[in-house]
Structure 1
Amino acid sequence: MKFPSPNPAVAERYYTEAHWRFDSTSQLFENMVRHHSERTALSDAEGNFFTYRELHAHVESVATCFADAGIGEEDIVTICAPNWWQTVVCILATLRVGAIINPVPMTYGWKDIKYVVDTCESKALILAGKFRNADHTAHIEDILGPGHGKKLVIQLAVGAQQAGVPFDTLLGKGECAVPLPSKPDNVAAILFTSGTESKPKGVVHTHNTILYGERCFVETLELGPEDTCFMASPISHASGFLHGVILTLTTGGHLSILDIFTASAAVDQMRRDSATWTMGATPFLVETSNELKARNATLPALRYFLCGGAPLPESVVRRAMETGMRVLSVYGSTESPPHTVVWPSDPPENAWTTDGRAAGDGIEIRIVDENGDECPEGEIGEEWSRGPNTFLGYLNAPEITARSLDSDGWYHSGDLAYQRPDGSIRISGRIKDMIVRGGQNIAAREVEELLIQIPGCLECALVGIPHERLGETGGAVLVMEPGHVVGVQEVYDLLVAQGVAKFKIPERVECWDALPKTPSGKIQKFKVQKMLAEGIKGEGDVR
């Protein structure tokens, strides 16, 4: 498989400016093991604690099994598992043998996993077994086909069936004989994201593009070995993987992971582990604040709660501040991982009035008009960014890459924003037809292509409906043939039967006579959103 590669001239500049360095992720982790061997590296909700030495031993054992299976440089390992210590071990073991980690969230349906595995031509698939209502082992034949081919399948816990090698049998194998990976410009991770396209896209990152972004966070937030990162966001999703696993375990910190979020459990674990910072979508912040207020308690060690995924309401931030939490808003994407952040030195109100400023001196940000010309301060345009943290391209998708990543290295976010006098930016909307539900992206087109297959459906539109806790939820409007009517439950049952991830399923469904359109026949989704918010149904040919 051919991967995008760094532009040689750009790479030379980034090395000269010391934005890119010569260490791989595994080399940095190895350094932490040497310098902090008896310091706590990892803890989980079950009360398991591992020092760097203990975690390293498990990583080496699983890496040995990967190597014995012939998995190495440029091979892709897909993992769909929750925030368990075994998941962290498998991620680090994949990187240890020079392979490429492809984490996908547990909210994926089996069809999503199949698409990712097929696209990546993954050499190994790691599944959790049963976790909450999900158990992808029940669909292993659907995902991989009869006999599973030559893929290594590892199962972390008990599931509907034994789909692969039990994780526990991989431990105790000793140190891996494969030399530590030492090529920081090799691809390290492929992170799938849904945008305006109908299918998720594989975002390609090297060790250097990942590590630069994490160093920016470390320097901006002044993080180090004394810090504990509490991560309830999925570590099989970009935020948890990058800012939880990679940032923390390459800087000697303590990573505390929670697999099933409840505010009560989160507060208990943050207090238990003296968490100094955390990061999550708005629902995590809202529920944590409510829990602390109900207990009349605080989190004494917590310095920062980083929050992104959607602009933060003032009321949410003020409620958090009342419990003693300092909220810092962040903005970015999987392609350009959070590249703006409200700095600790910024006024507290910047958390709800801005989406931060550049997280590092190598990151450039522009707000441009439709011709690509710079917008004056305060004028809304599209947000572009570039820097040593920017992805190399989409996997096997050069045409889509060319539309998002121009020849000068600027990533075109598709988000509308404006620049403020202090250098911060504020996101004001999206050009992209995408819904962000609880920090997870839903490509409207992908869901619409399934909705239109409902018997009797003539037209449909999926839009985001504002939601205080989740940011947005999906609302579907269908135009049906006479005599055909569907509701939320029917849509839910139909989409679940097709293997659609549950977070993508619309939580509001209405049948209208017609959808508002432009004279050329294009559906006006902003009108659909407004009409849903106001309780107005489309009747006749609304224009």
Structure 2
Amino acid sequence: MTSHTRDGAVPWPPEDAARYRAKGYWEDKPLGAYILEAADRFPERTALVDGDARISYRELADRMDAAAGRLLDLGLRQDDRILVQLPNCWQFTVLTLACFRAGIVPVMALPAHRQFELSYLAELSESRAIAVRDTIKDFSHQDLAKHIAAGTPAMSHVLVSGRVDQGNVDLDALLAPGGDPINARKQFDAAAPAGDDTACFLLSGGTTGLPKLITRTHNDYAYNIKATSAVTNVTADTVYLGTLPVSHNFPLACPGILGVLFAGGRVVMLPSPEPGKAFAAIEREGVTLCTAVPAVVQRWLEYRQETDRQETDRQETDQLETLEVLQVGGSRLADEIARKVKPVLGATLQQVFGMAEGLINMTRLDDPEDVVCTTQGRPVSEADEIRIVDESGTDLPDGVAGAILTRGPYTPRGYYRADEHNARAFTPDGWYGSGDIVERRPDGNLVVQGRDKDMINRGGEKISAEEIESLVYRLDAVTLAAAVSMPDALLGEKLCLFVTLKPGTALTLSDVQESLRRTGVAAFKIPEKLVVVDEIPTTKVGKINKKQLREEVARMLQASGNTG
């Protein structure tokens, strides 16, 4: 069939694709097939846990195929897109697998996204449907989804988990088991998507405006999952706790919920990494593997140490007895925090540095402490190519920090329908530049030093300075705006906004925050500090000097006694 999604994607060069197939990296097998293989091996094992819900592999396969059929009954077809904005729940997993099975493409939105981001994503992807929880923390995602659907010409269905308004589709019912799993399986086996077809759209961390769509195919994403699973030693005995938003690549497929389900292990869904709930889930389910961002790790360490001080019988400190591996990524983990993980939490730390655009680096489980605590690992695949270059694109020797370039069998060659941005982010011969500044040690491990792009990394959530600045310019009082990162002990970075104003006007932080809330921007993107200045410094070529502004923020924090 002609693939509309493939029309907007950038393919791998034929010679590279042939090499990846010859080496066995690409198996030309759809993602749903790996789930069915696990279900055939372990039909009665528990695959998925979400609160009181416990779903076996037999039931998971049944729900997956039945839901795929019901999506087609709604009028969706292979290669149609569905915008998925669900929290960590069994519904997210089953819907995603059903989409893989039917060849429908899930667009992985975040629960934190609001009208501003969702409208853009729906339009760019031409989504035919949107899937949401009815409410989360008193916010009506159902009302928002109806508004998005009304403003998106291609969108004809709102799928809702929970209380369902008239005219919308009951997602929980759509994901129910079917009546004829054998024939359903035959139907979808016969019409399975090809390995080169788009499996899903992930979102970029974008430094230039709104997120870009990252096209992940069945071939490249399956290899991403298998390669990271091998390094993390995922087996059928693995019990994985998903607490980070699972629409992110890290908890979804590195190896995440998909890697554990491929292997026949058990996935435990939890909507929040709050330590009391997370530790209880680890103890209750015998969790062996978790993923976290540095801010979460710090909270877990503080909670565990406080519990140790309070407990006399030390019963509570046994909650993490089964936890073997704690993966940490999303942003750089401070070395001093890294050294506390094993002694305090009892788990082996695995540092992860990667990107939804492809390349994943990990420390190995048997690496010495120096590597585990002071580096962000090395590529998970022998086929990952890496260059460290200076500003002119010249390769640098080991031990010298520079910009990282990469390509490989699970690093796509361009964003979806983003020719102008692709020309900046990718070299003509297919190397992707993430904007990260890294140093490669002689042993091949990478040390992340920072970024060369203008992006704020707030606890693993990436905020485009350009996006926020463009929204702030809607305020009449603002003549010039510059968003920069501000050090924060818990989140790593927060967003600080510098502005100059028109004569005779005034602006407060509350004014800015309220304006952005009315715009419908995600809450994590709202500035937490405002600095009104007479003049914003510029470089010799007239660009805003963000480096100088970041230094000014650091001086202000130091003067106030807050060093971040």
Normalised to the residue count of structure 1, the TM-score between the two structures is 0.94
User: Is contact 2:468-2:483 (8 Å) kept?
Assistant: yes
C-alpha separation between the residues in 1 aligned to 2:495 and 2:391?
28
Select which of 175, 179, 184 maps to 2:188.
179
Aligned residues: 534
Q: Which residue of 1 aligns with 2:279?
A: 267
Residues 1:396 and 2:417 aligned together: yes
| Greater mean deviation of Cα atoms: 418-427 or 137-146 | 137-146
Question: 2:486 is matched with which residue?
Answer: 465
1:517 counterpart SS class: coil
Per the alignment, residue 333 of structure 1 pairs with 355
- After TM superposition, list the pairs within 5 Å mapping 1:314-393 onto structure 2: 314-323=335-344, 324-337=346-359, 339-393=360-414
Aligned amino acid, residue 169 of structure 2: V
- Contact preservation (8 Å) 2:214, 2:415: yes
Check the 8 A contact 2:145/2:158 in 1, yes or no: no
Q: In the alignment, which of 211, 223, 236 is matched to residue 234 of structure 2?
A: 223
1:405 Cα shift?
2.5
Identity %: 28
Specify the alignment match of 2:137 in structure 1: 132
The yes-or-no answer on 1:120 pairing with 2:125 is yes
Q: Which moved more, 1:301-310 or 1:163-172?
A: 163-172
| TM-score, structure 2 normalization | 0.91
**1:195–1:432 Cα contact (<8 Å) kept:** no
Matches within 5 A, 1:247-262: 247-262=259-274
C-alpha distance 223-462 of structure 1, shift in aligned 2 (>3 A): same
Which amino acid in structure 2 is aligned with residue 333 of structure 1?
M
Gaps of 5+ in 1: 538-543
For residues 13-41 of structure 1, give each alpha carbon's deviation from its aligned partner in whole angstroms, at most 9, with x where no partner exists: 00111111132110111111111111111
User: 1:216–1:359: 8 Å Cα contact kept in structure 2?
Assistant: yes
Residue of structure 1 in register with 2:476 after alignment: 455
The aligned counterpart of 2:74 is 69
2:91–2:172 CA contact under 8 A, matched in 1:
no
Q: Which amino acid aligns with 1:270?
A: I
Q: Give 1:281 deviation, angstroms.
A: 0.9
* Range with greater deviation from structure 2 (74-83 or 316-325): 316-325
Is the CA contact 1:106–1:134 (under 8 Å) kept in the aligned structure 2? Answer: no
Instruction: Give the match's secondary structure for 1:473.
Output: strand
Q: String of CA shifts for 1:272-300, please: whole Å, max 9, x gaps.
A: 11111111211221112222222231512
Question: Structure 2 matches for 1:26-425, cutoff 5 A?
Answer: 26-44=32-50, 46-145=51-150, 151-158=156-163, 161-162=165-166, 164-170=168-174, 171-174=176-179, 175=181, 176=184, 178-180=187-189, 181-243=192-254, 244-296=256-308, 297-298=317-318, 299-323=320-344, 324-337=346-359, 339-425=360-446
CA contact (8 A) 2:329 2:353 kept: yes
The residue that corresponds to 1:10 in the other structure is 16
Higher helix share: 2
Distance verdict in 2 for CA 1:149–1:415, change over 3 Å = closer
Q: Report if the CA contact (8 A) 1:155-1:167 is conserved.
A: yes
> Residue 107 of structure 1 aligns to a residue in which SS?
coil
SS state of the match for residue 349, structure 1? Answer: helix
Give the conservation status (yes or no) of the 8 Å contact 2:129–2:157: yes
Deviation string 1:403-453 (CA, Å, 9 cap, x unpaired) is: 222333321111111111211111112111111111111111000001122
Distance 1:390 1:350, change over 3 A: same
Go from structure 1 to structure 2 and tell me whether the alpha carbon gap of 1:147 and 1:459 turns closer, same or farther (over 3 Å shift). Answer: closer
SS at match of 1:370: coil
Rounded Cα–Cα distance in structure 1 between residues aligned with 2:465 and 2:166: 35
Offset of residue 140 of structure 1: 3.3
The CA distance in 2 between the partners of 1:233 and 1:141, in whole Å, is 26
1:22 corresponds, among 23, 28, 38, to: 28
Partner of residue 540, structure 1? none
Moved more, 453-462 or 233-242: 233-242
Deviates more, 1:51-60 or 1:119-128: 51-60
Contact 2:130 2:149 in 1 (8 A): no
1:172 positional shift: 4.1
Cα distance in structure 1, aligned partners of 2:523 and 2:333: 25
Structural RMSD (CA):
1.9
Q: Which residue of 2 aligns with 1:476?
A: 497
Mapped partners of 2:241, 2:138: distance in 1: 24
**Superposed displacement of residue 147, structure 1:** 9.7
Distance in 2 (alpha carbons) for counterparts of 1:148 and 1:518: 44
Instruction: Give the conservation status (yes or no) of the 8 Å contact 1:140–1:163.
Output: no
Does the C-alpha gap of structure 1 residues 451 and 186 become closer, same or farther in structure 2, counting only changes over 3 Å? same
